[in-house]
Homo-oligomer: A and B are copies of this chain.
Amino acid sequence: MTEFELIAHLVRSLPTNQSVRIGAGDDCAALDMGFTDTLLLFKTDAMVEGVHFLHDTTPEKIGHKALGRCLSDIAAMGGRPSHALITIGLPAEFSVNFVEGVYRGINELASRYSMAIVGGETTSSPDRLFFSISVLGTVKKDRCIPRSGARSGDALFVTGTLGGSLAGKHLDFEPRLEEAEWLTSHFEIHAMIDVSDGLAGDLRHLVTSSRVGAEILVSAIPISRAAREAAKANTNGEPIGDNRRRRPKPPLAAALTDGEDFELVFALASRDAVPLLDAWKARFPMIPLSCIGKITDDPGIRLRDKAGVRPLTEHGYVHFA
């Protein structure tokens, strides 16, 4: 049984109650705690040394990434983060400077969004460091965007550029909180998810939850400079843990599967596509926004290019001729 199969299995028998608007299986849980017009967002994320970061990674960047990953999930719901708890598992021999550096990274990012760090825990972890961060946020009930609302015919968008994140972006990305709040307050977004596992994997979560499919125009995918340079240099940056790989990826494959881009993928009615692109350009002139395709009735994801239409295979990997 893989990790994904195990989760799917476990999720089926979780206890629930009447306050749960969105439970396990979205970017955050969304809870109706009795506010008039606001839902509470609740999310947790863990990072393990050697899997998500290396021992010699700058501690400030580790802290930034640890909190940033959670904030990217809050953004994907259209929400605003408010509070966090920080758990650190520390080996017996730890460097105080290192832990302080991690906290500097966390605190700096939290302060930027007026978040409070309200506690947490330091526990013993004999072999390697780990971090687990829990975040609370809020979102207006009518602006909470699930993964599951995409409709056939919707236009599909992605912010920023994709691929090659290991060259640096995975440690210093800015979560798309401001962009998401602007999007949800100006347009009717049907479904949204953040790109943490790669466009191929995360778009699959979105279309599966929405019981639809997608067709992507290959030439419209915004491939990052880092992904192109990595392909040229025969390296995709610092290899770590699960992301370790032996052969260089073509730039398109990197954009589809590298992961840790922390961009937003979302669907909205196709009639809103041009007004959105115009308004976005005026509001965020420095941040690319790309219409990469459309939502379809047919399940699964297909890639369209000059040669025709091909299915995007499972697990985010695509086989090229």
Contact = CB atoms under 8 A, between A and B. Distances in A.
A286 interface: no
Interface in A21-67: 23-26, 28-29, 31, 33-35, 38, 40, 42-48, 50-51
B46 A89 contact: yes
Contacts of A115: 15, 17
Residue among A25, A45, A128, A136 with most chain B CB within 10 A: A136
A83 interface: yes
B130 A125 contact: yes
A98 to B, nearest CB: 11
Contact of A121 (B15, B40, B46): B46
Contact of A111 (B15, B25, B31, B89): B15
Contacts of A132: 44, 46, 87, 132
Contacts of A34: 35, 38
A235 interface: no
Nearest to A23: B118
Interface stretch (A3-11, A155-163, A247-255): A3-11
A241 interface: yes
B83 A241 contact: no
A130 B49 CA distance: 13
Contacts of A317: none
A299 to B, nearest CB: 24
A308 interface: no
Given A85-B29, A126-B51, A45 B107 contact: no
Given A42-B85, A132-B44, A19 B116 contact: yes
B20 A118 contact: yes
B17 A107 contact: no
B119 A29 contact: yes
A31 B85 CA distance: 12
A3 to B, nearest CB: 5
Interface residues of A, number: 70
A68 to B, nearest CB: 15
Contacts of A47: 123
A100 to B, nearest CB: 7
A120 B24 CA distance: 7
A17 B116 contact: yes
A110 interface: yes
A34 to B, nearest CB: 7
Interface in A110-145: 110-111, 114-128, 130, 132, 134, 136, 138
24 contacts: A6-B99, A10-B99, A14-B103, A14-B117, A15-B107, A19-B83, A19-B116, A23-B117, A23-B118, A25-B119, A29-B85, A29-B118, A31-B118, A33-B138, A34-B35, A34-B38, A35-B35, A42-B85, A42-B119, A42-B134, A44-B119, A46-B132, A50-B126, A127-B128
